[in-house]
Amino acid sequence: MTSEPGRPGRTKYVLFDVDGTLIDAVSNQRRLWGTWAERYGLDGDEVYQVALRTRPMETFAEVAADHDPRECLATLHELEDEDVRSGVYAAFDGASELLHGLPLKSWALVTSNYEHRVRGRFLRTGLPVPGVIVDAAAVEEGKPSPVPYLRAAEQLGASPGDCLVIEDAPSGVQSGLRAGMTVWGVNATVAVEGVHRHFVSLREAVPHILALASGVTPVPQPEPVRRRRASLG
């Protein structure tokens, strides 16, 4: 389907997850958790699979219950900080164009990581940093709780109904949905359950996000009608 310039609509604020949505950090996270697991004599792949669906303290409770969780977290933080300094990161195709195309006060980052690491990764990849970042230290309840996304909306001065969440993971999608927001999924072959719209890649979603954020609703051209007329001739 193609579209014309569009018609006026309702402007949306855009709330982005970071890892897996804007920045490709899968290999970094797998390697990081593998190194962490080695230090505790654990299987790296098994630990990583748990870490994908839980917050760090929950991961430790499940895979290393006999170890001091504070020590486990300190080790993880040490590895993560080193990875920010020396790891190789890449922004997903379209991320720079998208973020530079949004008004600064119309978008925010909502991450389960920490702000200083996010800033480090954005600096490494050349992405602009918004005025609002809701990180793990900003909330007591992380995703899939609605709290992180509601906190971001509050800081932007936006109502949940005016917010568009861009996510790649089930926990983040649930967080956005529970916050009463529109949720679009990206960077996954199969749509995460519950998303209002799904895109295989961030690049594919870029023009649609920019259009919605600017308050322009695309107007589809009646291509099927033109094709039918041509066939009658």
> For 125-134, 204-213, 218-227, which range has the lowest pLDDT when averaged over its residues?
218-227
19 given a catalytic annotation = yes
- pLDDT, residue 10, reads 66
pLDDT tens digit sequence for 147-198: 999 999 999 999 999 999 999 999 999 999 999 999 999 999 999 999 999 9
Give percent of the chain above pLDDT 90: 73
What integer best gives the mean pLDDT of the chain?
Answer: 88
- How many angstroms separate the Cα of 216 from the Cα of each of 5, 10, 13, 208? 8, 7, 13, 9
- pLDDT, residue 217, reads 52
* Cβ atoms 130, 42 nearer than 8 A: no
Task: Examine the pLDDT at 60 and tell me if it is beyond 90.
Answer: yes
- Read off the pLDDT of each residue in 76-85 and give the average, rounded to a whole number: 92
**DSSP strand pairing (3-8 vs 216-220):** antiparallel
pLDDT tens digit sequence for 104-161: 899 999 998 899 999 999 998 999 999 999 999 999 898 999 999 999 999 999 999 9
- pLDDT, residue 9, reads 55
- pLDDT, residue 230, reads 37
- pLDDT, residue 130, reads 96
- pLDDT, residue 1, reads 31
Task: Examine the pLDDT at 7 and tell me if it is beyond 60.
Answer: no
> For 26-40, 85-99, 120-134, 215-229, which range has the lowest pLDDT when averaged over its residues?
215-229
24 given a catalytic annotation = no
Whole-angstrom distance, CA of residue 91 vs CA of residue 109: 14
Q: Sorting pLDDT into bands at 50, 70 and 90, what band is 81?
A: very high
Catalytic residue among 17, 24, 83, 168: 17
**Quick one: which of 100, 109, 102, 99 has its CA closest to 131?**
109
- Read off the pLDDT of each residue in 90-115 and give the average, rounded to a whole number: 95
